[in-house]
Amino acid sequence: MEAYVIGTLIVGFIAGYLGQRSRMCFVGGIRDLYLIKSTHLFKGLIGFLIAAFAGYILFNNNIAFPWFVEKGALSAIPGAPCILGIPALSIAIIGGLGIGFFAVLSGGCPFRNTVMTAEGNLKALWYVIGFFVGAVIFHLFIFGFIQSLFGC
């Protein structure tokens, strides 16, 4: 447990440092690919996918790989069961479209906005505050609604 908590702090530190130096942003990469046909930021997403895949192959000692939805991927709280089917797919589609749309309106994905907060951007600071408030709102009101609607 402690190793994991310290590990997230260290990985977060490395990611924040690299993110500040490289302006990496996944949603921004898709936006630039569409808007100005530049693959500069989009390569971040490709590199991430390849390296994460390599990491899972390399350290694949004790986890089931590949991992599909029947093991409880897609619930609002990770770990609760949700079976692969229409509910899981519709949750993925609603969530994905919503993240993409509102992330573009806010100028980048959550990671980019957090990095911009640390650079002194007050707009991004309010975004991060809204981020924490949104988590509480989700679990107070929306989680139960989604659960009763889709059953997971």
Partner 1 sequence: MNKDKNEEEFSKIKNFRINPWMAGAIIGFFAASLQQIASMTKPPAYGFCMACHARDLINSIINPIAGTNLGIAGIVTSIPTLTIIGVLLGSFVAAIIFKEFKVTKAKFNVSYLKMFILGILVMNFALILSACPIRTSLRVAHGDIIALVGLICIGIGAIIGTIVLERRIEV
Q: Which two tokens stand for residue 73?
A: 């991927």
Q: Quick check: 11 binds partner 1 (CB under 8 A)?
A: yes
Where in 25-64 is the site for partner 1 (CB under 8 A)?
26-27, 29-32, 34-36, 38, 40-41, 43-56, 58-64
Torsion of the alpha carbons at 132, 137, 139 and 143, rounded to the nearest 10: -130
Smallest separation (angstroms) from partner 1 to the CB of 15: 5
b or e along 3-30 (b: 16 or more beta carbons within 10 Å of the residue's beta carbon)?
eeeeeeeeeeeeeeeebeeeebbbbbbb
Q: Which is nearer to partner 1, 120 or 148 (CB)?
A: 120
Where in 93-132 is the site for partner 1 (CB under 8 A)?
93-106, 109-111, 113-115, 117-124, 126-132
Q: Which is nearer to partner 1, 2 or 148 (CB)?
A: 2
Q: Quick check: 151 binds partner 1 (CB under 8 A)?
A: no
- Please tell me the count of residues contacting partner 1 according to CB under 8 A: 121
* Chain position carrying tokens 């936006």: 31
Q: Quick check: 137 binds partner 1 (CB under 8 A)?
A: yes
* Chain position carrying tokens 């899981």: 88
Smallest separation (angstroms) from partner 1 to the CB of 141: 9
Dihedral-angle region of residue 120 (phi above 0 means left; psi in -120 to 50 means alpha; beta otherwise): left
Smallest separation (angstroms) from partner 1 to the CB of 148: 14
How far separated are the first and last CA of the chain, in Å rounded? Answer: 27
